[in-house]
């Protein structure tokens, strides 16, 4: 206890009571029965990213203008941010808590800015510090799954060779996404940064069961990521006709510079991204394409914003319209007979059933028909030991197939065909292969590396799993957990787009990137859900001075000798980066 | 420089000239234009002060306490319900010995809802340990702001200056705005004797045991009493520079008066006219204006009233279950005097009821006619 001062007379008294020595001897922490604890939680964007990006982490770095660090952070999880910043369907934005406040953060545009900025500034990845391992791994397919797996395995230290059937790497990113959405120089730049790590490549190397059995004996593990490159045939009269072009073949042929003769009236059948891209590419080649989709707009699997752009460009989409017959004159297609559908009650899978409207058949004059109703894997190349189900490879959680040492990921394994899922599965396979080669299981580390309760795994957590500091809990922060008193409504910054005239007369990229200033402002809208961003509200509000600040980036700590557990720090934390624990006494 | 301005802006100019450093404020009719004008002064650089928007009057006063404890010259303004909400903090400001100055625009309390003038709000805070001044004109308002800082910073007690809703707050008059240099000479920069200082940490307001607590309270009363001397000197110094002074009370035509009317605020101005008229008729009536209510100016009041036969106190407030509050104060001041007048308590002008020359004349006539004051206050005017 401090020294007590006594006064004899009124005249000796000061005007106000005051202390002249520290009161720290009074350990008021004894009074506490609830204990506040600093603990980062999982932001919803991170939780929903199939590629396992630390979205909040790089938005935070972007807020601090640390663009290089932000890019590095993405690259730890995903080698293709310039691709994802353009072509990912960004589930992160759908789950963004800001969406319930005003509008979600434009995460994809910020990701693209960071990646484009890295290209512009010529940033290179930090060198791999891990010891080179002797084991060799074969990656079959160089789409996002294959590239992601190769990249992460290389970072772990393995020797990696990619086998690609086509003359150039990229898989569906190269042939399936036209230049106006993903310029090829951007794709190539990102692929180069992966290859620069020292990855062997073999292009025009189509693999089949024999080569897998013979030529891959030297490899300690194989990752199959051959994707879905076979178009589903149109199952209608005349559908097998040579005059019906497959959407994917069309995109591929145009990419490799083949001439595809098109008339004016081009009917594109389907509602996925291939259908939309096919129609928009045909438009740029001078045709007047239109899209026929048998279901409703709500069920359309294509990225919504791309559908809107297609419509803006003047492409008409007829919904609940299904082709029934192709009418030809000689070798030439002249018309497409269609029927109108209506929706019925949902079936067992939850999709609305389609009911043909009687006598609603009608012909549409067409010059070409492009069928883009879906793609499936080419399973003829797979060894018999690899089990299939619904034409997809069967694996366990660790992406292990039924054949020893063979893993599979990406579209050839998963029905959830998206770039981010493919990148995520490549990473999952890389971790699983590392575990396999060490005779350990993926399951043992899942709790450490899984992001929240979502689909993504964190490579950073995997590589730094001995360091539990700043690891986030699985709890996903929701809008109700945010103290919105600390935020003001600010509209989302939209990216600018090329004028319609400029788009259709060129193959130029439709979406223009954010300028630096806009990216900074947009990143500044982030709530940083569940993650301490050193706002110091806890420090400011603590009436017991029990929140201790430290120099540098070290986060605040709590002086439990004096914290009374009043909880004001938790109440005033804008982003729920703390929690309260009951103390048993 | 003579400027035509409303009473609220007279407050704002007084605050600006006093070079106040922190203004935490929450709006309430009819006070709002005081702090609005101050926010303009802050925005356009006429006043180098921190203007803090707060979420309630309680917070406004809490903020004043913090700022004043840190050594800043601090001001806020409020009214009615807002002042009531500050109540707890008013006591704290006194106990912490902080020279905060606040303008209270007298407004009735609800319900019934009412935004007009009466004195219930400030008189309800009589015992919080704040000095209180009731102003009659816009000039007096401006001058009293400056004087208030002078007095408060000397005795380390807070001051509330009070002006009537609308009759002063929103009524324009010509006001002589003093030169800033003269005000600086009169009111130098505030140097706090006790100050929160992060480089020299002390905690203030710590617990005091019963044997000490009473001593601290006794010192507050000592300084309240001392405030009379300090306020007198402040008024004299003010006069020597600005050629205006106000005193604690003002006796008007009290010489040889048989009946003296006692009141405060803008009713004083109206009463002056009534007294002049009645004097012309040859009636021996006078008027006593009470400007300083806390500390109570016993000597001035006793001196002015002791020779009168009757005193009629016009109150714009009522202590329910007792009588007019000014009337009680006057009665208690006179009680121990060997020669004392009969004292009559009149209630009028509540909730903005216009106190006309007619009402004042009725009060004087009523007091003249009654031989003995009734036990209960007499209500005049309105629906009473």
pLDDT tens figures, B256-298? 999 999 999 999 999 999 999 999 999 999 999 999 999 999 9
- In this predicted structure, what is the pLDDT of residue A350? 77
User: Phi and psi (nearest 5°) for A90?
Assistant: 35, 70
* DSSP single-letter state for residue B258: S
pLDDT given at position A1: 58
What is the CATH number assigned to the segment(s) B249-379? 3.40.50.920
Contact flag B202-A19 (C-beta cutoff 8 Å): yes
d(CA A56, CA A310): 31
Separation in Å, CA of A16 to nearest CA in chain B: 6
Q: CA triplet B243, B248, B254: central angle to 5 degrees? A: 95
Cα(B298)–Cα(B342) distance, integer angstroms: 17
- What is the predicted pLDDT for the residue at A210? 87
CATH for B2-242 (3.40.1010.10, 1.10.3210.10, 3.40.50.970, 3.40.50.300): 3.40.50.970
Give tens-digit pLDDT for A306-318.
999 999 999 999 9
Assembly ipTM: 0.85
Min Cα distance B280 → chain A (Å) is: 53
Non-local (6+) Cβ contacts of B189 within 8 A are: B19, B73
| pLDDT tens-digit readout, B221-237 | 999 999 999 999 999 99
Put simply, the answer to whether A17 touches B194 (Cβ < 8 Å) is no
Q: What is the mean pLDDT of chain A?
A: 93
Contacts of B215 in chain A (CB under 8 A): 7, 10, 13
- Chain B residues with a Cβ under 8 Å from any Cβ in chain A: 95-97, 156, 193-194, 202-208, 212, 215-216, 218-219
> Is residue A228 very low, low, confident or very high in pLDDT (cuts 50, 70, 90)?
very high
Q: Give the one of B203, B207, B218 whose C-beta lies nearest to A10's C-beta.
A: B218
Percent of chain A with pLDDT strictly greater than 70: 99
Find the helix or strand (DSSP H, E) in which A221 lies. strand A221-224
Q: Is the pLDDT of residue A348 over 90?
A: no
Domain ranges of chain B: 2-242, 249-379
Rounded to a whole number, what is the distance in angstroms from the first to the last CA of chain B? 45
Q: To probe the interface with A, which of B201, B207, B213, B220 has the most A CB atoms within 10 Å?
A: B201
Collapsed DSSP state (helix, strand, coil) of residue A197: coil
- Chain A residues closer than 8 Å to B202 by CB: 18-20
Contact B135, B75 (CB under 8 A): no
Secondary structure (3-state) at A448: helix
Contact B204 A10 (CB under 8 A): no
Structure tokens at A10: 């009124």
Q: Which residue of A has its CA nearest to B202?
A: A19
One fold for both B2-242 and B249-379? yes
Burial class (CB in 10 A: 0-12, 13-18, 19+), A384: exposed
pLDDT for B149-166, tens place per residue?
999 999 999 999 999 999
**Residues whose CB is less than 8 angstroms from the CB of residue A563 and which lie 6 or more positions away in sequence, other chains included:** A28, A29, A32, A35, A36, A542, A544, A546
* CB-CB neighbors (< 8 A) of B219 in chain A: 10, 13, 15
Given CB atoms, is A1 within the 8 Å cutoff of chain B?
no
What is the rounded distance in angstroms from the CA atom of residue A50 to the CA atom of residue A455? 5
**Pairing verdict, β A159-163 and A392-393:** unpaired
Give the list of residues 6+ apart from residue B78 with CB closer than 8 angstroms, or none: B25, B26, B28, B31, B57, B60, B86, B102, B103, B104, B105
Q: Do A16 and B215 touch (CB under 8 A)?
A: no
Q: Distance between CA A55 and CA A51 in Å, rounded?
A: 10
Can you name the residues that pair with A202 across neighbouring β-strands?
A: A163
pLDDT reading at A142 higher than 70 = yes
H-run or E-run covering A356: strand A352-356
Within 13 A of B36's CA, how many CA atoms are on the CB side? 10
Residue of chain B whose Cα is closest to the Cα of A543: B203
Q: What is the pLDDT of residues A144-170, one digit of tens each?
A: 999 999 999 999 999 999 999 999 999
Q: Which residues of B touch A17 (CB under 8 A)?
A: 204-208, 212, 216
- What's the whole-model pTM score? 0.76
- pLDDT tens for A111-141 read 999 999 999 999 998 888 889 999 999 999 9
Give contacts of A7 with chain B, Cβ < 8 Å.
212, 215
């Amino acid at each position: 206890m401090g020294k007590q001062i006594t006064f004899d007379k009124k005249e000796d008294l000061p005007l106000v009571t005051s202390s002249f020595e520290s009161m720290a001897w009074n350990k008021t922490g004894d009074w506490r029965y609830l204990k506040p604890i600093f603990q980062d939680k999982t932001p919803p964007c991170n939780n929903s990213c199939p590629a396992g990006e630390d979205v909040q982490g790089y938005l935070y770095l972007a807020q601090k203008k640390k663009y290089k660090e932000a890019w590095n952070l993405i690259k730890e999880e995903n080698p293709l941010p310039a691709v994802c910043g353009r072509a990912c369907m960004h589930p992160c934005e759908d789950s963004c808590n800001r969406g319930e406040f005003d509008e979600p953060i434009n995460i994809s545009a910020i990701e693209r800015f960071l990646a484009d900025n890295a290209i512009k500034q010529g940033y290179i990845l930090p060198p791999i510090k891990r010891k080179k391992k002797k084991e060799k791994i074969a990656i079959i397919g160089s789409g996002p799954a294959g590239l992601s797996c190769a990249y992460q395995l290389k970072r772990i230290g393995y020797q990696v060779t990619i086998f690609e059937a086509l003359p150039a790497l990229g898989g569906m990113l190269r042939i399936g996404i036209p230049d106006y959405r993903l310029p090829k120089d951007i794709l190539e730049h990102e692929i180069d940064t992966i290859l620069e790590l020292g990855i062997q490549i073999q292009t025009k190397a189509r693999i089949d069961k024999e080569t897998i059995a013979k030529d891959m004996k030297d490899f300690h593990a194989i990752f199959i990521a051959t994707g879905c490159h076979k178009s589903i045939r149109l199952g209608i009269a005349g559908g097998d006709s040579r005059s019906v072009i497959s959407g994917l073949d069309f995109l591929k042929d145009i990419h490799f510079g083949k001439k595809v003769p098109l008339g004016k009236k081009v009917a594109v059948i389907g509602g996925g991204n291939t259908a939309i891209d096919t129609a928009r590419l045909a438009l740029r080649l001078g045709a007047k394409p239109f899209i026929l989709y048998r279901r409703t707009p709500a069920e359309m699997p294509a990225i919504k914003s791309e559908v809107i752009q297609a419509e803006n460009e003047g492409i008409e989409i007829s919904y609940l319209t299904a082709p029934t017959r192709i009418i030809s004159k000689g070798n030439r297609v002249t018309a497409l007979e269609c029927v109108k559908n209506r929706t019925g009650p949902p079936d067992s899978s939850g999709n609305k059933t389609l009911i043909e409207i009687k006598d609603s058949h009608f012909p549409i004059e067409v010059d070409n028909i492009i069928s883009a109703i879906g793609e499936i894997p080419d399973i003829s190349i797979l060894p018999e030991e690899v089990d299939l189900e619904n034409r997809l490879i069967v694996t366990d959680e660790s992406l292990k197939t039924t054949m020893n040492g063979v893993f599979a990921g990406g579209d050839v394994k998963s029905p959830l065909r998206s770039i981010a899922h493919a990148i995520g599965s490549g990473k999952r396979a890389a971790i699983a292969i590392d575990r396999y080669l060490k005779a350990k299981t993926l399951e043992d580390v899942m709790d450490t590396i899984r992001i929240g309760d979502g689909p993504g795994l964190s490579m950073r957590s995997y590589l730094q799993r001995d360091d539990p500091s700043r690891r986030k809990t699985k709890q996903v922060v929701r809008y109700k957990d945010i103290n919105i008193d600390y935020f003001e409504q600010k509209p989302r910054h939209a990216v600018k787009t090329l004028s319609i005239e400029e788009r259709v007369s060129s193959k130029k990229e439709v979406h223009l990137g954010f300028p630096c200033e806009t990216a900074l402002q947009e990143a500044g809208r982030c709530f940083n859900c569940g993650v301490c961003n050193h706002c110091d509200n806890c420090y400011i509000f603590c009436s017991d001075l029990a929140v201790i600040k430290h120099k540098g980036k070290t986060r605040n700590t709590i002086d439990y000798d004096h914290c009374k557990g009043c909880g004001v720090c938790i109440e005033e934390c804008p982003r729920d980066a703390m929690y309260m624990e009951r103390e048993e006494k | 420089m003579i400027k035509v301005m409303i009473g609220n802006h007279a407050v704002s100019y007084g605050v600006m000239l006093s070079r106040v450093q922190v203004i935490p404020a929450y709006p309430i009719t009819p006070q709002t234009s005081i702090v609005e004008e101050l926010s303009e002064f802050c925005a356009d650089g006429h006043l180098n002060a921190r203007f803090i928007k707060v979420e309630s009057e309680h917070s406004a006063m809490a903020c004043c306490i913090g700022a004043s404890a840190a050594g800043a010259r601090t001001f806020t303004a409020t009214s009615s319900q807002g002042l009531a909400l500050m109540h707890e903090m008013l006591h704290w400001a006194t106990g912490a010995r902080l020279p905060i100055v606040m303008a209270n625009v007298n407004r009735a309390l609800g319900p019934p809802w009412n935004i007009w003038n009466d004195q219930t709000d400030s008189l309800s805070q009589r015992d919080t340990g704040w000095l209180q001044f009731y102003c009659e004109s816009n000039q007096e308002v401006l001058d009293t702001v400056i004087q208030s800082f002078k007095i408060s910073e000397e005795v380390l007690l807070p001051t509330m200056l009070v002006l009537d809703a609308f009759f002063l707050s929103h009524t324009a008059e010509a006001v002589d705005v003093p030169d800033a240099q003269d005000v600086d000479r009169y009111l130098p920069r505030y140097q706090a004797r006790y100050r929160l200082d992060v480089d020299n940490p002390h905690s203030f307001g710590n617990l005091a045991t019963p044997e000490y607590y009473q001593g601290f309270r006794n010192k507050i009363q000592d300084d309240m009493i001392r405030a009379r001397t300090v306020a007198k000197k402040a008024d004299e110094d003010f006069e020597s520079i600005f050629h205006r002074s106000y005193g604690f009370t003002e006796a008007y035509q009290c010489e040889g008066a048989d009946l003296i009317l006692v009141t405060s605020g803008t009713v004083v101005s109206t009463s002056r006219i009534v007294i002049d008229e009645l004097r012309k008729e040859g009636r021996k009536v006078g008027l006593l204006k009470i400007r300083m209510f806390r500390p109570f100016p016993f000597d001035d009041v006793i001196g002015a009233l002791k020779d009168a036969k009757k005193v009629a106190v016009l109150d714009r407030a009522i202590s329910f279950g007792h009588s007019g509050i000014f009337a009680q104060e006057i009665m208690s001041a006179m009680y121990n005097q060997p020669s004392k007048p009969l004292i009559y308590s009149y209630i009028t002008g509540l909730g903005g009821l216009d106190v006309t020359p007619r009402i004042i004349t009725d009060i004087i006539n009523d007091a003249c006619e009654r031989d003995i004051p009734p036990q209960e206050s007499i209500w005049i005017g309105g629906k009473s």
